[in-house]
Structure 1
Protein backbone atom coordinates (compact mmCIF):
# COMPACT_ATOMS: atom_id res chain seq x y z
CA UNK A 1 0.00 0.00 0.00
CA UNK A 2 1.23 3.51 -0.66
CA UNK A 3 2.29 5.44 2.42
CA UNK A 4 0.05 8.30 3.45
CA UNK A 5 0.24 11.08 5.97
CA UNK A 6 2.93 13.58 6.74
CA UNK A 7 6.53 13.09 5.71
CA UNK A 8 8.20 11.86 8.93
CA UNK A 9 11.83 11.72 7.86
CA UNK A 10 14.04 13.69 10.25
CA UNK A 11 16.90 15.91 9.15
CA UNK A 12 19.48 17.73 11.23
CA UNK A 13 20.92 20.32 8.83
CA UNK A 14 18.34 22.94 9.84
CA UNK A 15 19.96 22.95 13.29
CA UNK A 16 23.49 23.69 12.11
CA UNK A 17 23.47 27.46 12.65
CA UNK A 18 22.14 27.69 16.19
CA UNK A 19 23.61 24.35 17.32
CA UNK A 20 27.15 25.34 16.35
CA UNK A 21 26.87 28.68 18.12
CA UNK A 22 25.23 27.18 21.22
CA UNK A 23 27.72 24.33 21.61
CA UNK A 24 30.67 26.65 21.00
CA UNK A 25 29.39 29.10 23.61
CA UNK A 26 28.62 26.52 26.30
CA UNK A 27 31.86 24.64 25.74
CA UNK A 28 33.94 27.82 25.91
CA UNK A 29 32.06 28.95 29.00
CA UNK A 30 32.76 25.75 30.91
CA UNK A 31 36.33 25.21 29.73
CA UNK A 32 37.60 28.79 29.97
CA UNK A 33 35.96 29.56 33.32
CA UNK A 34 36.85 26.22 34.91
CA UNK A 35 40.43 26.56 33.68
CA UNK A 36 40.60 30.13 34.94
CA UNK A 37 39.33 29.36 38.44
CA UNK A 38 41.47 26.24 38.96
CA UNK A 39 44.52 28.11 37.69
CA UNK A 40 43.87 31.00 40.09
CA UNK A 41 43.10 28.58 42.94
CA UNK A 42 46.33 26.67 42.26
CA UNK A 43 48.23 29.93 42.87
CA UNK A 44 46.98 29.82 46.50
CA UNK A 45 44.45 32.61 45.95
CA UNK A 46 41.72 33.07 48.56
CA UNK A 47 38.23 31.87 47.63
CA UNK A 48 36.83 35.38 47.15
CA UNK A 49 39.64 36.16 44.70
CA UNK A 50 38.88 33.00 42.75
CA UNK A 51 35.22 34.01 42.53
CA UNK A 52 36.04 37.53 41.37
CA UNK A 53 38.31 36.13 38.66
CA UNK A 54 35.63 33.66 37.58
CA UNK A 55 32.80 36.21 37.42
CA UNK A 56 35.02 38.63 35.51
CA UNK A 57 35.85 35.84 33.07
CA UNK A 58 32.13 35.07 32.65
CA UNK A 59 31.21 38.67 31.82
CA UNK A 60 34.19 39.28 29.54
CA UNK A 61 33.77 35.93 27.81
CA UNK A 62 30.05 36.37 27.14
CA UNK A 63 30.62 39.81 25.62
CA UNK A 64 33.56 38.53 23.59
CA UNK A 65 31.54 35.59 22.27
CA UNK A 66 28.66 37.86 21.28
CA UNK A 67 30.92 40.34 19.51
CA UNK A 68 33.03 37.67 17.83
CA UNK A 69 30.06 35.67 16.55
CA UNK A 70 28.27 38.79 15.33
CA UNK A 71 31.28 40.10 13.42
CA UNK A 72 32.17 36.67 12.00
CA UNK A 73 28.65 35.74 10.87
CA UNK A 74 28.02 39.30 9.61
CA UNK A 75 31.03 38.92 7.34
CA UNK A 76 29.54 35.70 6.02
CA UNK A 77 26.18 37.42 5.49
CA UNK A 78 27.90 40.29 3.64
CA UNK A 79 29.63 37.80 1.34
CA UNK A 80 26.34 36.02 0.63
CA UNK A 81 24.64 39.33 -0.14
CA UNK A 82 27.46 40.37 -2.49
CA UNK A 83 27.19 37.07 -4.36
CA UNK A 84 23.42 37.40 -4.67
CA UNK A 85 23.73 40.99 -5.91
CA UNK A 86 26.21 39.91 -8.55
CA UNK A 87 24.02 36.98 -9.57
CA UNK A 88 20.98 39.24 -9.88
CA UNK A 89 22.95 41.55 -12.16
CA UNK A 90 24.12 38.66 -14.35
CA UNK A 91 20.57 37.38 -14.68
CA UNK A 92 19.43 40.80 -15.84
CA UNK A 93 22.30 41.25 -18.29
CA UNK A 94 22.69 37.76 -19.77
CA UNK A 95 19.82 35.48 -18.84
CA UNK A 96 20.50 32.94 -21.62
CA UNK A 97 24.08 32.36 -20.47
CA UNK A 98 22.89 31.93 -16.89
CA UNK A 99 20.30 29.42 -18.06
CA UNK A 100 23.01 27.46 -19.86
CA UNK A 101 25.14 27.57 -16.74
CA UNK A 102 22.32 26.17 -14.61
CA UNK A 103 21.59 23.43 -17.13
CA UNK A 104 25.26 22.42 -17.16
CA UNK A 105 25.17 22.11 -13.38
CA UNK A 106 22.30 19.64 -13.65
CA UNK A 107 24.09 17.71 -16.38
CA UNK A 108 27.06 17.43 -14.03
CA UNK A 109 24.73 15.94 -11.43
CA UNK A 110 23.57 13.21 -13.79
CA UNK A 111 20.65 14.56 -15.82
CA UNK A 112 20.54 14.24 -19.58
CA UNK A 113 21.14 17.52 -21.44
CA UNK A 114 17.54 17.74 -22.60
CA UNK A 115 16.09 17.09 -19.16
CA UNK A 116 18.63 19.44 -17.56
CA UNK A 117 17.51 22.16 -19.96
CA UNK A 118 13.84 21.58 -19.07
CA UNK A 119 14.57 21.69 -15.34
CA UNK A 120 16.65 24.87 -15.71
CA UNK A 121 13.91 26.54 -17.78
CA UNK A 122 11.15 25.70 -15.30
CA UNK A 123 13.14 26.67 -12.21
CA UNK A 124 14.22 29.96 -13.72
CA UNK A 125 10.65 30.69 -14.78
CA UNK A 126 9.56 30.15 -11.18
CA UNK A 127 12.39 32.03 -9.41
CA UNK A 128 15.63 32.48 -11.32
CA UNK A 129 17.61 34.04 -8.48
CA UNK A 130 16.56 31.38 -6.00
CA UNK A 131 17.55 28.61 -8.40
CA UNK A 132 21.01 30.07 -8.98
CA UNK A 133 21.50 30.88 -5.29
CA UNK A 134 20.78 27.29 -4.34
CA UNK A 135 22.40 25.34 -7.17
CA UNK A 136 25.21 27.62 -8.31
CA UNK A 137 26.19 29.40 -5.12
CA UNK A 138 25.17 26.71 -2.62
CA UNK A 139 23.04 29.12 -0.58
CA UNK A 140 19.77 28.12 1.05
CA UNK A 141 17.48 29.37 3.79
CA UNK A 142 18.64 26.58 6.11
CA UNK A 143 22.29 27.65 5.93
CA UNK A 144 21.63 31.39 5.74
CA UNK A 145 23.91 33.46 7.97
CA UNK A 146 22.05 34.97 10.95
CA UNK A 147 24.45 37.22 12.91
CA UNK A 148 22.08 38.25 15.71
CA UNK A 149 20.90 34.69 16.32
CA UNK A 150 24.49 33.44 16.45
CA UNK A 151 25.60 36.24 18.79
CA UNK A 152 22.73 35.75 21.23
CA UNK A 153 23.06 31.96 21.24
CA UNK A 154 26.82 32.07 21.84
CA UNK A 155 26.77 34.70 24.58
CA UNK A 156 23.80 33.18 26.43
CA UNK A 157 25.17 29.65 26.37
CA UNK A 158 28.65 30.90 27.33
CA UNK A 159 27.14 32.56 30.42
CA UNK A 160 25.24 29.39 31.31
CA UNK A 161 28.32 27.22 30.81
CA UNK A 162 30.56 29.60 32.77
CA UNK A 163 28.13 29.73 35.70
CA UNK A 164 28.48 25.97 36.29
CA UNK A 165 32.14 26.01 37.48
CA UNK A 166 31.37 29.12 39.56
CA UNK A 167 28.58 27.28 41.35
CA UNK A 168 31.08 24.53 42.17
CA UNK A 169 33.50 27.13 43.53
CA UNK A 170 30.80 28.51 45.84
CA UNK A 171 29.73 25.07 47.08
CA UNK A 172 33.20 23.56 47.53
CA UNK A 173 35.42 23.99 50.59
CA UNK A 174 38.77 25.65 49.84
CA UNK A 175 40.80 22.45 50.16
CA UNK A 176 38.53 20.59 47.71
CA UNK A 177 37.90 23.43 45.28
CA UNK A 178 40.25 22.33 42.51
CA UNK A 179 39.21 18.64 42.36
CA UNK A 180 35.54 19.59 42.69
CA UNK A 181 35.70 22.08 39.82
CA UNK A 182 37.73 19.72 37.63
CA UNK A 183 35.52 16.66 38.15
CA UNK A 184 32.27 18.61 38.01
CA UNK A 185 33.28 20.54 34.89
CA UNK A 186 34.31 17.35 33.10
CA UNK A 187 30.90 15.88 33.94
CA UNK A 188 29.22 18.99 32.53
CA UNK A 189 31.37 18.76 29.38
CA UNK A 190 30.50 15.09 28.94
CA UNK A 191 26.81 15.91 29.25
CA UNK A 192 27.14 18.79 26.79
CA UNK A 193 29.07 16.65 24.29
CA UNK A 194 26.49 13.89 24.44
CA UNK A 195 23.56 16.29 24.15
CA UNK A 196 25.13 18.15 21.22
CA UNK A 197 25.91 14.90 19.42
CA UNK A 198 22.38 13.59 19.95
CA UNK A 199 20.81 16.86 18.79
CA UNK A 200 23.00 16.88 15.68
CA UNK A 201 22.54 13.17 14.93
CA UNK A 202 26.23 12.35 15.52
CA UNK A 203 27.98 9.62 17.52
CA UNK A 204 27.39 10.31 21.22
CA UNK A 205 30.55 8.55 22.47
CA UNK A 206 32.72 10.59 20.11
CA UNK A 207 31.02 13.82 21.20
CA UNK A 208 31.56 13.02 24.88
CA UNK A 209 35.22 12.03 24.41
CA UNK A 210 36.01 15.08 22.33
CA UNK A 211 34.59 17.50 24.88
CA UNK A 212 36.05 15.91 28.01
CA UNK A 213 39.57 15.24 26.72
CA UNK A 214 40.10 18.79 25.47
CA UNK A 215 38.59 20.26 28.62
CA UNK A 216 40.82 18.10 30.83
CA UNK A 217 43.89 19.21 28.90
CA UNK A 218 42.99 22.90 29.26
CA UNK A 219 42.43 22.61 33.01
CA UNK A 220 45.60 20.59 33.53
CA UNK A 221 47.70 23.22 31.79
CA UNK A 222 46.22 26.10 33.80
CA UNK A 223 46.73 24.20 37.06
CA UNK A 224 50.40 23.80 36.16
CA UNK A 225 50.70 27.51 35.34
CA UNK A 226 48.88 28.55 38.52
CA UNK A 227 51.04 26.27 40.65
CA UNK A 228 54.24 27.66 39.15
CA UNK A 229 53.17 31.27 39.68
CA UNK A 230 52.00 30.47 43.20
CA UNK A 231 55.38 28.94 43.98
CA UNK A 232 57.25 31.93 42.57
CA UNK A 233 55.08 34.37 44.49
Structure 2
Protein backbone atom coordinates (compact mmCIF):
# COMPACT_ATOMS: atom_id res chain seq x y z
CA UNK A 1 0.00 0.00 0.00
CA UNK A 2 1.46 3.39 -1.02
CA UNK A 3 2.76 5.55 1.81
CA UNK A 4 0.57 8.55 2.66
CA UNK A 5 1.90 12.02 1.98
CA UNK A 6 1.81 14.55 4.85
CA UNK A 7 -1.13 16.22 3.15
CA UNK A 8 -3.07 12.96 2.96
CA UNK A 9 -2.27 12.27 6.62
CA UNK A 10 -3.77 15.56 7.77
CA UNK A 11 -6.81 15.23 5.50
CA UNK A 12 -7.40 11.72 6.86
CA UNK A 13 -7.46 13.25 10.35
CA UNK A 14 -10.02 15.86 9.33
CA UNK A 15 -7.53 18.74 9.09
CA UNK A 16 -7.89 21.02 6.06
CA UNK A 17 -4.92 22.95 4.55
CA UNK A 18 -6.37 26.24 5.85
CA UNK A 19 -6.64 24.86 9.40
CA UNK A 20 -3.06 23.64 9.14
CA UNK A 21 -1.84 27.04 7.96
CA UNK A 22 -3.73 28.84 10.74
CA UNK A 23 -2.76 26.60 13.66
CA UNK A 24 0.42 24.61 13.08
CA UNK A 25 2.66 27.32 14.54
CA UNK A 26 0.40 27.56 17.63
CA UNK A 27 1.32 24.06 18.78
CA UNK A 28 3.97 23.44 21.43
CA UNK A 29 7.33 22.42 19.90
CA UNK A 30 6.93 18.80 21.07
CA UNK A 31 3.41 18.59 19.65
CA UNK A 32 4.57 20.04 16.33
CA UNK A 33 7.56 17.68 16.12
CA UNK A 34 5.45 14.62 16.88
CA UNK A 35 2.72 15.61 14.44
CA UNK A 36 5.10 16.33 11.57
CA UNK A 37 6.96 13.08 12.23
CA UNK A 38 3.69 11.12 12.16
CA UNK A 39 2.67 12.94 8.97
CA UNK A 40 6.00 11.88 7.44
CA UNK A 41 5.23 8.21 8.22
CA UNK A 42 7.29 7.60 11.37
CA UNK A 43 5.95 4.99 13.80
CA UNK A 44 5.02 5.72 17.39
CA UNK A 45 7.89 3.52 18.55
CA UNK A 46 10.48 5.26 16.36
CA UNK A 47 9.39 8.72 17.47
CA UNK A 48 9.31 7.63 21.12
CA UNK A 49 12.83 6.26 20.91
CA UNK A 50 14.10 9.54 19.52
CA UNK A 51 12.22 11.74 22.00
CA UNK A 52 12.53 9.45 25.04
CA UNK A 53 8.78 8.79 25.20
CA UNK A 54 6.77 5.60 25.29
CA UNK A 55 4.69 4.82 22.16
CA UNK A 56 1.56 5.55 24.20
CA UNK A 57 3.04 8.88 25.27
CA UNK A 58 3.66 9.78 21.63
CA UNK A 59 0.10 8.77 20.75
CA UNK A 60 -1.30 11.05 23.46
CA UNK A 61 0.78 13.98 22.19
CA UNK A 62 -0.48 13.29 18.66
CA UNK A 63 -4.11 13.18 19.83
CA UNK A 64 -3.71 16.43 21.77
CA UNK A 65 -2.09 18.21 18.81
CA UNK A 66 -4.75 17.04 16.35
CA UNK A 67 -7.48 18.25 18.71
CA UNK A 68 -5.90 21.71 18.76
CA UNK A 69 -5.80 21.80 14.97
CA UNK A 70 -9.48 20.84 14.72
CA UNK A 71 -10.78 23.44 17.17
CA UNK A 72 -13.44 25.69 15.66
CA UNK A 73 -11.88 28.87 17.00
CA UNK A 74 -12.38 31.15 13.99
CA UNK A 75 -9.74 33.85 14.33
CA UNK A 76 -11.44 36.01 11.69
CA UNK A 77 -14.70 35.98 13.67
CA UNK A 78 -12.89 36.91 16.91
CA UNK A 79 -11.10 39.74 15.12
CA UNK A 80 -14.41 40.91 13.64
CA UNK A 81 -16.12 40.97 17.03
CA UNK A 82 -13.24 42.95 18.53
CA UNK A 83 -13.47 45.44 15.67
CA UNK A 84 -17.23 45.87 16.16
CA UNK A 85 -16.77 46.44 19.89
CA UNK A 86 -13.97 48.97 19.33
CA UNK A 87 -16.04 50.98 16.83
CA UNK A 88 -19.21 50.93 18.92
CA UNK A 89 -17.32 52.00 22.05
CA UNK A 90 -15.61 54.80 20.13
CA UNK A 91 -18.66 56.16 18.30
CA UNK A 92 -21.41 55.21 20.74
CA UNK A 93 -23.67 53.78 18.04
CA UNK A 94 -24.19 50.28 16.57
CA UNK A 95 -21.80 49.41 13.76
CA UNK A 96 -24.73 49.16 11.32
CA UNK A 97 -25.48 52.84 12.06
CA UNK A 98 -21.84 53.89 11.85
CA UNK A 99 -21.35 52.47 8.35
CA UNK A 100 -24.28 54.47 6.93
CA UNK A 101 -21.94 57.44 6.37
CA UNK A 102 -19.52 55.39 4.29
CA UNK A 103 -19.68 55.39 0.48
CA UNK A 104 -20.79 52.23 -1.27
CA UNK A 105 -19.69 49.44 -1.29
CA UNK A 106 -17.74 49.97 1.94
CA UNK A 107 -20.70 49.33 4.32
CA UNK A 108 -21.13 45.78 2.97
CA UNK A 109 -17.39 45.15 3.13
CA UNK A 110 -17.12 46.41 6.71
CA UNK A 111 -20.11 44.39 7.95
CA UNK A 112 -18.70 41.25 6.30
CA UNK A 113 -15.41 41.92 8.10
CA UNK A 114 -17.25 42.29 11.41
CA UNK A 115 -18.88 38.89 10.83
CA UNK A 116 -15.52 37.29 10.07
CA UNK A 117 -16.52 36.51 6.50
CA UNK A 118 -14.06 36.09 3.63
CA UNK A 119 -14.00 38.53 0.71
CA UNK A 120 -13.54 35.68 -1.77
CA UNK A 121 -17.29 35.39 -2.47
CA UNK A 122 -18.37 38.96 -1.72
CA UNK A 123 -15.85 40.81 -3.90
CA UNK A 124 -16.98 39.32 -7.27
CA UNK A 125 -20.64 40.02 -6.44
CA UNK A 126 -19.69 43.70 -6.04
CA UNK A 127 -17.76 43.74 -9.30
CA UNK A 128 -14.43 44.05 -7.49
CA UNK A 129 -11.23 42.06 -7.44
CA UNK A 130 -10.25 40.72 -4.02
CA UNK A 131 -7.38 43.22 -3.88
CA UNK A 132 -9.71 46.17 -4.67
CA UNK A 133 -12.23 44.98 -2.07
CA UNK A 134 -9.49 44.52 0.54
CA UNK A 135 -8.14 48.05 0.03
CA UNK A 136 -11.63 49.59 0.28
CA UNK A 137 -12.43 47.54 3.38
CA UNK A 138 -9.17 48.41 5.11
CA UNK A 139 -9.64 52.12 4.36
CA UNK A 140 -13.12 52.02 5.89
CA UNK A 141 -11.91 50.06 8.93
CA UNK A 142 -9.14 52.61 9.50
CA UNK A 143 -11.63 55.46 9.21
CA UNK A 144 -14.06 53.93 11.73
CA UNK A 145 -11.24 53.27 14.19
CA UNK A 146 -10.08 56.88 13.94
CA UNK A 147 -6.89 56.15 12.02
CA UNK A 148 -5.67 58.23 9.11
CA UNK A 149 -6.56 56.80 5.76
CA UNK A 150 -3.66 55.14 4.04
CA UNK A 151 -1.75 54.66 7.29
CA UNK A 152 -1.50 51.24 8.95
CA UNK A 153 -4.50 49.78 7.12
CA UNK A 154 -3.26 50.99 3.74
CA UNK A 155 0.27 49.72 4.33
CA UNK A 156 -1.10 46.35 5.47
CA UNK A 157 -3.15 46.04 2.26
CA UNK A 158 -0.10 46.97 0.17
CA UNK A 159 2.04 44.38 1.99
CA UNK A 160 -0.57 41.66 1.42
CA UNK A 161 -0.76 42.57 -2.26
CA UNK A 162 3.05 42.33 -2.55
CA UNK A 163 3.13 38.91 -0.83
CA UNK A 164 0.26 37.63 -3.00
CA UNK A 165 2.13 38.74 -6.12
CA UNK A 166 5.34 37.05 -4.94
CA UNK A 167 3.48 33.78 -4.34
CA UNK A 168 2.13 33.79 -7.90
CA UNK A 169 5.74 33.90 -9.10
CA UNK A 170 6.84 30.92 -6.97
CA UNK A 171 5.72 28.85 -3.93
CA UNK A 172 7.30 30.05 -0.67
CA UNK A 173 7.71 28.56 2.82
CA UNK A 174 7.39 30.59 6.03
CA UNK A 175 11.19 30.86 6.11
CA UNK A 176 11.27 32.10 2.50
CA UNK A 177 8.61 34.70 3.28
CA UNK A 178 10.41 35.92 6.40
CA UNK A 179 13.60 36.39 4.38
CA UNK A 180 11.80 38.26 1.60
CA UNK A 181 9.40 40.26 3.78
CA UNK A 182 11.11 40.77 7.16
CA UNK A 183 8.53 40.76 9.99
CA UNK A 184 7.75 38.77 13.10
CA UNK A 185 6.49 35.20 12.65
CA UNK A 186 3.24 36.13 14.45
CA UNK A 187 2.59 39.02 12.05
CA UNK A 188 3.50 36.85 9.06
CA UNK A 189 1.12 34.12 10.24
CA UNK A 190 -1.70 36.68 10.51
CA UNK A 191 -0.96 37.98 7.01
CA UNK A 192 -0.88 34.50 5.47
CA UNK A 193 -4.06 33.50 7.29
CA UNK A 194 -5.85 36.50 5.77
CA UNK A 195 -4.53 35.69 2.28
CA UNK A 196 -5.72 32.07 2.58
CA UNK A 197 -9.13 33.15 3.93
CA UNK A 198 -9.48 35.64 1.08
CA UNK A 199 -8.67 33.00 -1.54
CA UNK A 200 -5.44 34.71 -2.59
CA UNK A 201 -3.12 31.92 -1.38
CA UNK A 202 -3.23 28.16 -0.87
CA UNK A 203 -1.15 25.74 1.19
CA UNK A 204 0.62 22.80 -0.45
CA UNK A 205 -0.15 19.30 0.82
CA UNK A 206 3.46 18.15 1.17
CA UNK A 207 6.05 18.92 3.82
CA UNK A 208 7.87 21.32 4.01
CA UNK A 209 4.63 23.23 3.51
CA UNK A 210 4.68 26.00 0.94
CA UNK A 211 2.20 28.74 0.17
CA UNK A 212 1.02 28.96 -3.42
CA UNK A 213 -0.31 32.06 -5.14
CA UNK A 214 -3.82 32.20 -6.60
CA UNK A 215 -4.36 34.40 -9.63
CA UNK A 216 -7.48 36.60 -9.63
CA UNK A 217 -10.20 35.22 -11.90
CA UNK A 218 -9.73 37.93 -14.51
CA UNK A 219 -5.97 37.27 -14.78
CA UNK A 220 -6.50 33.52 -14.92
CA UNK A 221 -8.67 33.93 -18.04
CA UNK A 222 -6.11 36.03 -19.88
Q: TM-score, with normalisation over the residues of structure 1?
A: 0.29
Greater RCO, CA 8 A, separation 6+: 1
Rg comparison, structure with higher value? 1
Select the structure that is richer in helix.
1
Per the normalisation by structure 2, the TM-score is 0.30
